[in-house]
Amino acid sequence: MNKETIIQGNPIQPEKQKKTPRDKFERERIRVRRIRKRKKIRDKIIMGFAVLLMGIIAIIILTPTILTITNSFMSSTEIMANYGSIIENATSSNKTYISKQVNLKIIPDMISFSQYSTVLLKSPEYLIKFWNSVIMVVPITVFQICVALGASYFFARFDGKLRSLAFFVYIILMLMPYQVTLVPNYLVSEWLHIINTRWSIILPGIFAPFSVFILTKFMKRMPSAMIEAAKLDGAGEFTIFARVCVPQCRSTIYSVAILVFIDYWNMVEQPLILLNDADMHPLSVFLSKINTGDVGLAFAVAVIYMIPTLLMFFYSEDYLIEGISYSSGIKG
């Protein structure tokens, strides 16, 4: 018999291979790799569903805007053919269920610029309302930012009971809806004899507390080392404010300006209460009157009405996101 196979009548059993630390490490690495692979697949599936959901929500939100822009290039006949049942039911005194099918068309059968020619060339009243909005909203935005920068610098730099009380009052005023302060604004405007003038809209807007609150929170985040370094260089308070604080707040200033502009561009209650003369009303008030008339003109005027806010948003989108999220930090 072979000595290698049998010793004392019993076959030799193969020895079990001992597991070395290297083998255990390889098995653990393979297990971790499988877990990571499953996690990546799960994350991709979740991300796919999230992107799909966000895409559906974006389509739902953007559909009215897209329809407004495309329908502004339709003729009045085509608009009545597509939305006639809705228009008739909206303008009639007896509201009924719309049994006819509504045809929502994105691409017009024939592109027509007749609505825009009527708005821009034949009917100056639309442009007058547009410029009324510009004349009131632009000064409010510019001077509100200027006032807010000075007030925010005071609230951020100085401490004391008077400062805390004033800032608390600002917060309370910001939390109040505008309808609550509308009557006091009317009484003050009447006392100043500015009722039925643009100043009754502009002056309350300049001293609105929203911008002060946002800019104060940002200025408080600025490191005191920057202020101390400016003082060591011989800078005074105005130099620190103009050369240090304001440049650091640029992104926040852009974001606040956009929000303030959009807020007052869409104002309705203030002109209706404080302006008795309809010729001084902004385009935001006049849009409701257009909707009851020629719907084609309403689409065209709505597109013109959206242009300033869209231009501001596209031009300062990065500043808006950066300022709201405070992701820019402090540049040192």
Tokens of 224: 């005191």
Strands 6-7 vs 10-11: parallel, antiparallel or unpaired:
antiparallel
Q: How far is CA 62 from each of CA 69, 130, 144, rounded to the nearest angstrom? A: 11, 24, 31
* The pLDDT of residue 3: 46
pLDDT surpassing 50 at residue 155: yes
Q: How many other C-beta atoms are found inside a 10 Å radius of the C-beta of residue 231?
A: 13
Given pLDDT bands bounded at 50, 70 and 90, which one contains residue 50?
very high
pLDDT surpassing 90 at residue 57: yes
* The pLDDT of residue 220: 83
pLDDT tens profile 246-266: 888 888 888 888 889 988 998
Strand partners, 10: 7
Please tell me the chain's helix, strand, coil percentages from 3-state DSSP, rounded to the nearest 5: 75, 0, 25
Q: Over the range 102-131, which residues count as b (16 or more CB within 10 Å of their CB) and which as e?
A: eeeeeebeeebeebbebbeeeeeebeebbe
Given pLDDT bands bounded at 50, 70 and 90, which one contains residue 53?
very high
Output the average pLDDT for the chain: 79
* The pLDDT of residue 156: 84
Element (H, E) at 17: none
Q: Over the range 267-302, which residues count as b (16 or more CB within 10 Å of their CB) and which as e?
A: beebbebbbeeeebbbbbbbbeebbeeebbbbbbbb
pLDDT tens profile 277-288: 888 888 888 877
User: Whole-angstrom distance between the N-terminal and C-terminal Cα of the chain?
Assistant: 88
pLDDT tens profile 105-154: 777 778 888 888 888 887 778 888 888 999 999 999 999 999 999 888 88
pLDDT surpassing 90 at residue 319: no
* The pLDDT of residue 137: 93
pLDDT surpassing 70 at residue 218: yes
Mean pLDDT of 48-73: 89
Tokens of 239: 């130099």
Tokens of 230: 């400016």
* The pLDDT of residue 19: 60
pLDDT surpassing 80 at residue 18: no
